[in-house]
Amino acid sequence: MHTVVVGTSGVTASDVLAVAREGARIELSGEAVAALAAAREIVEALAAKPEPVYGVSTGFGALATRHISPELRAQLQRNIVRSHAAGMGPRVEREVVRALMFLRLKTVCSGHTGVRPEVAQTMADILNAGITPVVHEYGSLGCSGDLAPLSHCALTLMGEGDAEGPDGVVRPAGELLAEAGITPVELREKEGLALLNGTDGMLGMLVMALADLETLYKSADVAAALSLEALLGTDKVLAPELHAIRPHPGQGASAANMLAVLKGSELTGHHQDGAPRVQDAYSVRCAPQVAGAGRDTLAHARTVAERELASAVDNPVVLPDGRVESNGNFHGAPVAYVLDFLAIAAADLGSIAERRTDRLLDKNRSHGLPPFLADDAGVDSGLMIAQYTQAALVSEMKRLAVPASADSIPSSAMQEDHVSMGWSAARKLRTSVDNLTRIVAIELYAATRAIELREGLTPAPASRAVIDAVRAAGVQGPGPDRFLAPDLAAADAFVRAGGVVAAVEPVTGPLA
């Protein structure tokens, strides 16, 4: 099994995906253990002094004015975890919780938090044992970190609360730790706070969304190319010299992908046949511009994610010169903004894909295709209601594109009077990515059927490869009406698993 070694200088997106989705094992580097020990010495020295230090010998948030005596400090750290583990609603996904815990461990190992090495090792041990704390949908405002979600994870470290075992069964965390031979942690000064104060949940969801959207945008380019082909459109609008005079990188990449898919097609170039068309509709002609803008948004979001992965987010932090200073680095605004940007871009990509699907099904705009791609229109409804489903998904994505980061609700008696809502932005983006996958799957389903209905014209070799792969995946071709949901589910699974890209690239070479 792949092993991820956590040092002091951050981790990569690939590390996050390996731990969250593939169950990779985690090891702490010697450098990280040394940094943890050195920072802990600083915290313990401050704890021994009579002067109050936030998070070490004081209360938290609006209660930071109270100095806590030494005999109550262990109780203080336990209490902050217990009181902050106040999430509600359905459980979030296992991969999200694993990413959340792993990213908190990454910051703990930076040497800026003052946590003991044994606490960090216990975090790694719990992840390696396949134990996943129960974390709930609601509770984070995305400022002072993802407090409630991280608190539920810290509760598991203490052997309290509920967690999911490696067998998928939810049980008391203490029982699961005992079976795995893991000793619960007794938290000391600063440690409870350090386990709660980060942007780890929203960052983990951003990293996973970026990975999913990278494949999905390539799949969307392929589906758009197949729709252009099925509509007998022109590929002249994809010429590199046209995109070079508006040099947005994403636009050029999308156009290049579509052109590569369409190479060798006998269906393109017929826009002057029959009733001549000067230009294709915007949904066909402007596909690279819309998908390309989304790709450039992905690139910006990836830059933000890389910076955040290299960050140590905590409050207060231990600095190399021995100071322990309060700060505002836990504010989730940088991550929240790009999560919202991605939801906007995804909604627009879904919208233009639905418009192409609708065009394929409309006999007045499809240039010779049967109504709704039906076998016997009137007796058969064809893909009429598949487009309804797609439209419903697009409508939801437009609602999900409303930014969460534009909102803020004050908390902690107005001490925390401006928050990012980054966790909420991440949660809705996950739904948007799911919906976009389904939308692309429906366009792909319609486009492949439409191409097969163009008798006497040979599609591009790459298009043929996609059609063959889709059919092999259980998505049926043209014919009389049948129970449609299984076909749509099979198309969704095909797109979700990266089947579109896998089918095309042996013909086209790597897509951009």
So which residues are the catalytic ones?
A: 54
Q: How far apart are CA 374 and CA 283, in angstroms?
A: 22
DSSP string of 46-87?
A: HHTSSS--TTTSB--GGGTTSBPPGGGHHHHHHHHHHHH---
H or E element that contains 321 = none
Instruction: Enter the tokens of residue 267.
Output: 């269906």
DSSP-based three-state secondary structure for 89: strand
CA distances from 90 to 136, 139, 424 (A): 6, 11, 14
What are the CB-based long-range contacts (under 8 Å, 24+) for 164-170? 164/94, 164/131, 164/132, 164/133, 164/134, 165/130, 165/131, 166/129, 166/130, 166/131, 170/134
CA distances to 148, 261, 285, 468 from 461, rounded to whole Å, are 52, 8, 22, 11
CA separation (Å) from 431 to 136, 224, 342, 437? 16, 22, 12, 10
Count CA atoms closer than 13 A to 80's CA, side-chain side. Answer: 27
Nearest to 75 by CA among 63, 57, 62, 52: 57
